Amino acid sequence: MLEIRSARKVFYKGQPDEKIALNDLSLTLPTGNFAIVIGSNGAGKSSMLNAISGALMLDSGKILINGDDVTALPVHKRASRVARVFQDPMKGTAASMTVAENMLLAELRGKKLGLNRGLNAKRLASYKERLAALNLGLENRLETRVELLSGGQRQSLSLIMATCDQPDLLLLDEHTAALDPRTADIVMQATVRAVEAFNLTTLMVTHNMQHAVDFGHSVVMLDAGRTRLEITGAEKAEVTIPKLIGHFGMKTDRMLLAS
**44 dihedral zone (left: phi>0; alpha: psi -120 to 50; beta):** left
Between 117 and 254, CB nearer to ligand ATP: 254
Q: In the complex, what is the shortest distance from the CB of residue 164 to ligand ATP, in angstroms, rounded to a whole number?
A: 27
Between 92 and 186, CB nearer to ligand ATP: 92
Across the chain, how many H-helices and E-strands are there?
Answer: 10, 10
Q: In the complex, what is the shortest distance from the CB of residue 154 to ligand ATP, in angstroms, rounded to a whole number?
A: 21
Between 44 and 92, CB nearer to ligand ATP: 44
Q: In the complex, what is the shortest distance from the CB of residue 54 to ligand ATP, in angstroms, rounded to a whole number?
A: 15
Using alpha carbons, select from 66, 44, 67 the residue that is nearest to residue 56: 44
The CA angle 175-258-89, to the nearest 5 degrees, is 20
Between 49 and 190, CB nearer to ligand ATP: 49
CB 196 within 8 A of CB 174: no
Order of all β-strands in the sheet with 2-11: 19-29, 2-11, 60-65, 68-69
Between 21 and 104, CB nearer to ligand ATP: 21
Between 39 and 54, CB nearer to ligand ATP: 39
Q: Is 19 in the site for ligand ATP (CB under 6 A)?
A: yes
Tell me which residues in 39-68 interact with ligand ATP (CB under 6 A): 39, 41-47
Distance in angstroms (rounded) separating the CA atoms of residues 212 and 220: 9
Between 39 and 216, CB nearer to ligand ATP: 39
Q: Is 257 in the site for ligand ATP (CB under 6 A)?
A: no
Binding residues for ligand ATP, total number by CB under 6 A: 11
For 59-77, b where at least 16 C-beta lie within 10 A, e where not — what string? Answer: eebebebeeeebbebeeee
Q: In the complex, what is the shortest distance from the CB of residue 61 to ligand ATP, in angstroms, rounded to a whole number?
A: 15
Q: Is 32 in the site for ligand ATP (CB under 6 A)?
A: no
Q: In the complex, what is the shortest distance from the CB of residue 168 to ligand ATP, in angstroms, rounded to a whole number?
A: 22
- Whole-angstrom CA distances from 239 to 34, 194, 232, 258 are 16, 24, 10, 17
CA 253: distance to chain centroid? 23
Q: In the complex, what is the shortest distance from the CB of residue 50 to ligand ATP, in angstroms, rounded to a whole number?
A: 7
Stretch that binds ligand ATP, among 34-42, 138-146, 157-165, 188-196 (CB under 6 A): 34-42
Q: In the complex, what is the shortest distance from the CB of residue 19 to ligand ATP, in angstroms, rounded to a whole number?
A: 4
How many of the other CB atoms lie within 10 Å of CB of 206? 24
Binding site for ligand ATP (CB under 6 A): 11, 19, 21, 39, 41-47
